[in-house]
Amino acid sequence: TNLAPPNLHAVYVWGIEVIRAVQMLLPSSLDLVIRILSDALVYGFALVPLTYMWCADYKKGLHLFYLFVFGLGLNEGLKLFLQVPRPYTQAPDILKVRASGFSTPSGHSLTGAMMYPAALFYGQKDRRFFAVKVLLSLFFALFIGFTRIYLGVHYPTDVLAGWAFGLFLAVCFVFLTPIIEKKVHGFAEAGAGISGKNIKSLKFAAAAVFAFIITVLCREKTRYGGALLGLAFGNIYLFDSFCADFDARAGSVFQKILRLAVGGVLAGLPVLIFYKSGIEKTHSQYRLIWFAAFFVSGAIIPGAAPVLFS
């Protein structure tokens, strides 16, 4: 049937009708193209922090990665709290592609509204091309949201919630990160008598608190907490200890491409091994092993990889 269940909330009934209307705008022959674009613009975004970190601006790339992981972790926690089923479970006729997990907020929409403005505006003092950057941020966010509605995996309200939450995180990131950095730097200078080892321990402890919060919010999906803690470990104990003078801008174009290729393979190996191991969710240590795999990948990105590059 093309009708939504009679006991469904009016907002979701309206949302299903919007999905049907959007799906009528394009021929079904474009479904695969739209699905690929939808995923590529989000999952492919991991290349942006990597490119900054290894080829342009290490600090900016690291901060973008922190935002990426933390934002997705918060979004996953919200999904588990709200537990809104996917729209195609209520109206099977709109199904174009299946997606795991709950529906609200849209993680793709959040990522688009969060990461594109963050990458384009964070650390940019030059106001040239400001209007172009705004238009690019709007285009990518709107297009990603459109694809999620078209594919039937999100209600329009899911997309709106993802946009709002993502933009909020992006604004906080762009304006508050420099202030926090300044405060931390001032604290370190004021505590000059504290050894570097103790300062590192304090920084890692702070990261561990955030990783713990994300892990609790996401419950069985421990990858976000593992990746966040791994990023902190790699930066604090590997990068700062062995290659703090690494200059991402140095090197030829070929060398930078080689960094992305080799570093990407190394960072992906622990997660790939985990997925190929065939460990079931029923395994008693499943959550711990998943956490460890993403921790190792997280540590490689800002730590082991730059050591290798150096």
Residue 260 has pLDDT above 90, yes or no: yes
- What CA–CA distance (Å, rounded) separates 3 from 307? 58
pLDDT band of residue 1 (cuts 50, 70, 90) is very low
- What CA–CA distance (Å, rounded) separates 185 from 151? 46
Q: How many CA atoms lie within 13 A of 237 on its CB side?
A: 16
Burial 68-98 (b: 16+ CB within 10 A, else e): bbbbbbbbbbbbeeeebebbbebbeebebee
Q: What is the pLDDT of residues 72-81, one digit of tens each?
A: 999 999 999 9
Residue 118 has pLDDT above 80, yes or no: yes
- What CA–CA distance (Å, rounded) separates 149 from 25? 12
Tell me which range, 21-30, 159-168, 270-279, is most confidently predicted by mean pLDDT.
159-168
pLDDT of amino acid 138: 92
Q: What percent of the chain has pLDDT over 90?
A: 64
Contacts for 60 with CB less than 8 Å, ≥ 6 apart: 52, 53, 122, 123
Q: What is the pLDDT of residues 223-258, one digit of tens each?
A: 999 999 999 999 999 999 999 899 999 999 999 999
Find out whether 23 and 96 touch, Cβ atoms under 8 Å. Answer: yes
> Which residue of the set 9, 63, 108, 185 is catalytic?
108
Catalytic residue status for 154: yes
> Which residue of the set 9, 63, 154, 283 is catalytic?
154
Residue 3 has pLDDT above 80, yes or no: no
pLDDT of amino acid 196: 58
Find out whether 121 and 60 touch, Cβ atoms under 8 Å. Answer: no
| Tokens, residue 238 | 């590997």
The reply to whether the predicted model has a pTM over 0.85 is yes
Average pLDDT of the chain to the nearest whole number: 89
Average pLDDT (298-303) is 96
pLDDT band of residue 187 (cuts 50, 70, 90) is low
